[in-house]
Amino acid sequence: REKERKTERKKERKREKERDREKERERERERQRKREKKGERERKRKKERKRKREREKEKERKRERERERERKRERKREREREKDRERKIKRERERERERKREKEKERER
């Protein structure tokens, strides 16, 4: 009977150890899952940040193109104003010459 109890206790301890090992393995699997999940989240965040950076760069490029177009338009307007000034000056000179001619004619008469 004593022997039986001993073997029973031995078996019980063995089963206990096995249960503990199983629990430990389960905990390890859980930790592994968590690590993988965290890694996945990290990768997603990284990807999202990259996409955001790309969108920002694209917006910046768009703004730069717009500014360039605006500068171009401004230069064009400036050239037009310059031409107008030139034409105005030319007309003024022409009128002046015309007046002088008229005066000359008056004097001759």
- Structure confidence by residue, pLDDT tens digits, 87-99: 999 999 999 999 9
Task: Please spell the DSSP secondary structure of 31-61, one letter per residue.
Answer: HHHHHHHHHHHHHHHHHHHHHHHHHHHHHHH
Confidence band of 2 (pLDDT split at 50, 70, 90): confident
Mean pLDDT of the chain: 95
Distance, CA of 26 to chain centre: 43
Place of tokens 């989240």: 41
Rounded CA-CA distance 52/20 in Å is 47
Alpha carbon distance 65, 69 (integer Å): 6
* Rg, Å, the chain Cα set: 47
